[in-house]
Amino acid sequence: MAPPLRTTSAIATALSIALLSYLLCKKTRSKASSKKTPKTLSVKKARNGLVAAIGNTPLIRINSLSDATGCEILGKAEFLNPGGSVKDRVAVKIIEEALESGALAQGGIITEGSAGSTAISLATVAPAFGCKCHVVIPDDAAIEKSQILEALGATVERVRPVSITHKDHFVNIARRRALEANQVALKHGKGNQNEYLDVKQINGYTSDSGKQDPIFYSDCKGGFFADQFENLANFRAHYEGTGPEIWDQTGGKLDAFIAAAGTGGTVAGVSCFLKEKNANVRCFLIDPPGSGLFNKVTRGVMYTREEAEGRRLKNPFDTITEGIGINRLTENFKLAELDGAFRGTDLEAVEMSRYLLKKDGLFLGSSSAMNCVGAVRVAQALGPGHTIVTILCDSGMRHLSKFYDVGYLSKYGLMPSAVGLEFLGLK
């Protein structure tokens, strides 16, 4: 009987070995399979239309600047908005509030005086609200901005640059155009019949449109002047949107914020929100040549003594940057909570744009480049180990005929030549 026992024992041993081999092979195949099979992506709900796609832009680490300074320099990639710039946020907020208040009729015309980006954003989002757009733009702005506006369906007026105090400054003309649209609408019974549709005044300015030929058709449903410089919807767009996003994306762990100002809405809205969350977050302005805001922040006055004595040129070549720098205080900028300011130069902005393109693959516009100059200045002032956030307003695609044009740069002695960051005192 002994042999059968040995046979049974051998069979049991063989079965155990086979089972163990099967389990080991199955585990190995499972591991291999898990390595080859991509992880299942979480399904996100589609956004409802163009407007819902605006905002919630990425906050990206600018590797070259972070490594060079020892700080974490982060850029809010606003150029990824549908209209290509940070101004998309402002355009949506202005139109939404105007429609809600009744200041803008459904199907009405939004007018704006803009150097380009805000106008492009308004022209981009206006159709989503069933509205049209009429833009007045200075004729020294990059020609591609006018071309984009026309392609988006906006009507475009290019006018010569003059002082804001002149009645034919592009902003003042845009204001008049809204009044004219209201006059045409009421004449033909097309506009809103309410207290907001005032044919004589907009924001305290009286129309003189009777002195010129009307430019709107009889089917016009009224006009609304967006007034990005003074309209606090601009501030609210950043206080309610950009600021909270930056706070969430950094987990509240940031030391400083810096940006240039044109209307002042971005720097005011973001600085106010961040200061409310943490008073120790330091907020700064970077100001281009020809702007008086640096003096206002650092000295309390807009002009130097020489400028105050009337020696300031009426129409100087101030800066190659577009959309930033100004010589008056806007209602938006008045709300900014700033700890200081830095000066940036045109050459620094040009050099920075080429450096970031070469090192990081970032193709940025002039104001974005100036903001990055500011971020490095803050890093140098605070020292290594700090987290600094700035705004990447738009890409270089709207700046080809000036900021990226060799002939234009050569004319003003702004050809880039730096190898690294030596133009800011870094290697």
pLDDT digits (tens, 9 = 90+) for 112-156: 998 778 999 999 999 999 999 999 998 888 888 889 999 999 999
Ramachandran category for residue 294: left, alpha or beta (phi over 0 → left; psi -120 to 50 → alpha): alpha
Residues 297-319, buried b or exposed e (16+ Cβ, 10 A)? beeeebbeeeeeeeeeeeeeeeb
Poorest-confidence range of 55-59, 89-93, 316-320, 357-361? 316-320
pLDDT of 427 reads 78
CATH dotted code for 105-192+216-221: 3.40.50.1100
pLDDT tens sequence across 197-249: 443 433 343 334 444 444 676 678 899 999 999 999 999 999 999 999 999 99
Q: What is the mean pLDDT of residues 69-98?
A: 97
pLDDT in tens, 148-205: 999 999 999 999 988 888 999 999 999 999 999 888 888 877 555 443 344 343 334 3
Tens digits of residue pLDDT in 22-80:
555 455 444 444 444 445 555 667 878 999 999 999 999 999 999 999 999 999 999 99
189-198: long-range pairs with CB below 8 Å, 24+: 190/218, 190/219, 190/220, 190/221, 190/222, 191/105, 191/108, 191/220, 191/221, 191/222, 192/102, 192/105, 192/108, 192/221, 192/222, 194/102, 195/102, 196/101, 196/102, 196/103, 197/105, 197/222
Per-residue confidence at 1, pLDDT binned at 50, 70, 90? very low
Nearest to 238 by CA among 203, 195, 270, 206: 270
Range in 194-198, 360-364, 390-394 the model is least confident about: 194-198
Asked if 251 contacts 319 with a C-beta cutoff of 8 angstroms, the reply is: no
Dihedral of alpha carbons 323, 329, 332, 335, sign: positive
**pLDDT value at residue 349:** 98
Residue, of 195 and 107, whose pLDDT is higher:
107
DSSP string, 256-321: EEEE--SSSHHHHHHHHHHHHH-TTSEEEEEE-TT-SHHHHHHHS-SS-HHIIIIIS-SS----S-
| CB-CB contact of 354 with 398 (8 Å) | no
State mean pLDDT over 366-392.
Answer: 98
For β-strands 72-77 and 59-61, DSSP reports them as antiparallel
Q: With helix as H, strand as E and coil as C, how does 33-53 read? A: HHHHCCCCCCCCCCCCHHHHC
Would you say residue 3 has pLDDT above 50? no
Higher pLDDT, 240 or 5: 240
Here the tokens at position 13 are 């041993």
Q: Which of these CATH numbers, 3.40.50.700, 3.40.50.1100, 3.40.640.10, 3.60.20.10, describes 54-81+239-424?
A: 3.40.50.1100
What is the pLDDT averaged over residues 99-104?
96
What residue spans in the chain does CATH classification 3.40.50.1100 cover?
A: 54-81+239-424, 105-192+216-221
Stated pTM of the model: 0.83
Which secondary-structure segment (H or E) carries 341?
strand 340-343
Q: How confident is the model over 250-303, as pLDDT tens digits?
A: 999 999 999 999 999 999 999 999 999 999 999 999 999 989 999 999 999 887
At 351, is the pLDDT very low, low, confident or very high (cuts 50, 70, 90)? very high
Does the pLDDT value for residue 386 go beyond 90?
A: yes
pLDDT reported for residue 315: 43
- Check if the beta carbon of residue 221 is closer than 8 Å to that of residue 105: yes
Task: Answer whether residue 403 shows pLDDT above 70.
Answer: yes
Q: Coil, strand or helix: which one is 171?
A: helix
